[in-house]
Structure 1
Amino acid sequence: MKPLESRIECIRVLALDVDGVLTDGSIFMDNLGQEYKAFHVRDGHGLKLLQRAGIQIALITGRSSGVVEARARDLGITYVYQGALDKRLPFVELKKSTGVADHEIAYMGDDVVDLPILSRVGLAAAPADAHEAVLEQVQFVSRHAGGRGAVRELCDLLLRGQGRMDELMAQYLSKQGPA
């Protein structure tokens, strides 16, 4: 099996499930059917750091939600695939759109519906509270639960593994601030 470090070096796209990864899996609905989700701000900032480092971000989710569309727009995420009951179809479309191969994609998922993608990508990741079947198949398990910093932990791992973290942190410490 390929070492984690060599997997990380190849990553050009990070694709994520949403419910249970970017959120804790809870879905709040009011009596009018309006849906609410909570996102961790540090996960979002980690995604922005990856974008600054040239790594593209994609969301592939089985549900469809205006909240997800709004969060993606807020973070500048171009590749958003919702209502994907079979996640293999948007995965193939993502590869065509970005021009990357399987081994250049990292994917974080939390449930069995994510297994078809997790089994193909260069780096398969899961939050700490992912389904047992997922935890058995991935190369990286975050110390954090979904929606509680798991995505940021993966972002930091990618940035460190590609030698970009110090450069990005130096921007925050400079008088000019981040680019």
Structure 2
Amino acid sequence: MASLLRHFPFAQQRFLKLGGLQVLEALFLSSGGASLRVRAVTLLYDMIVEKELILQHGLDPVPDASHEAWLRQYSQVSLLPQLAERGWCGLVPELLASPEHDVREKALRALLAMMPPCRELYRGDRALAGALSLLQEQYQGLAESERGFGDEDGYFGELLGLVDSMLGKLR
């Protein structure tokens, strides 16, 4: 499904219109679907970022009529407001409880991408604030260890940057 939706704004519109978010939500909430949760959040993150990049930077160095139609289609994909309406602002933070750093990374990236419609909910979420504080403490220690081994731009430093960015946007 993800490969059908990526770089295909018309398919993204249809996906949203025909209840695709509800299906992803059901998968996310189903028991035993840890890997499906991560895939769903990764797909949503990719769709958000794809649209932002296309609308900010365009597709082609030489715009033509098809380029303009493509941009128009992307502008009609209203994913972020629908994510907020469907409760995804409250679902994605659940992934931060994972012991897997990769899952946490995907959750942090999605949380940051979803910040515009979710900021107020995030600000009032004490569980999220607590989880971010714990992650910040953990990743500070791990990033220091990386630097001790000469890895200035290590993975844990990157994760710490995501946590710090999230905390900064919530202030």
- Shorter-chain TM-score above 0.5: no
TM-score computed with the length of structure 2 as normaliser: 0.30
Name which structure has the greater RCO, CA cutoff 8 Å, separation 6+: 1
> TM-score, normalising length from structure 1?
0.29
If each structure's helix is expressed as a fraction of its own residues, which one has the higher value? 2
Report which of the two structures shows the higher radius of gyration computed on alpha carbons.
Answer: 2
Question: Going by fraction, where is strand more abundant, 1 or 2?
Answer: 1
